[in-house]
Amino acid sequence: MESDTWYQCDRCTACCKWPGDVRVEDDEIGKIADFLGMDEDTFIQQFTRLRMNRNGLSLIERENHECIMLENDRCIIQEVKPFQCKGFPNRWNFPDWQKVCQAKPVPMQQAIDLGLVDDGDVSADHVIRGRDLT
Ligand code: SF4
Ligand code: SF4
């Protein structure tokens, strides 16, 4: 990852269709539940499952591997989506990620000037995590 480059998502939704976990952290549950107008317990029951390693919650994955929050190729919780989603590919990625992601490179200063760079919520335990590609 080049620190002088920002990769701007073009909302192709490929990363919403990969098999595996979409991790939801404890401190993200309340925000998403509020956004959906429901209490946390209802949100957890309707939209989450245990992660494959059983170490926390993931959004439910449909049979075709799409995330349950994807409707008509649009994320219905875009404004409050989990860090795993917000952070890719600039905060975390994996080898050859550009083969499966259409994010466009923008010079970092230009990206900052355009207000594209979201530098919030980058705590240490959020740095490397991702949707499994297996
Ligand atoms: S991060 Fe990449 S794969 Fe995901 S929606 Fe944006 S362009 Fe597509
Ligand atoms: S929460 Fe939204 S951005 Fe994240 S995988 Fe699901 S549909 Fe995609």
Structure tokens at 51: 């992660």
Give the Cα separation of 48 and 59 in Å (integer).
Answer: 4
Domain boundary assignment for the chain: 5-126
pLDDT per position as a tens digit, 76-124: 999 999 999 999 999 899 999 999 999 999 999 999 999 998 765 444 3
| Ligand 1 pocket test, candidate residues 101, 106, 116, most atoms within 8 A of CB | 101
Question: Which amino acid type is present at position 131?
Answer: R
What is the reported pLDDT for 132? 53
Q: What is the pTM of this model?
A: 0.87
Counting from 1 in the atom list of ligand 2, the atom nearest the Cα of 68 is 6
Task: Report the Cα 85 to chain-centroid distance in Å.
Answer: 1
Question: Which amino acid type is present at position 56?
Answer: G
Q: How far is the CA of 114 from the centre of ligand 1 (A)?
A: 19
The CB density around residue 87, as the number of other CB atoms within 10 Å, is 19
50 lines ligand 1 (CB under 6 A): no
Q: How far is the CA of 65 from the centre of ligand 2 (A)?
A: 12
**Nearest bound ligand to the CA of residue 22:** 2
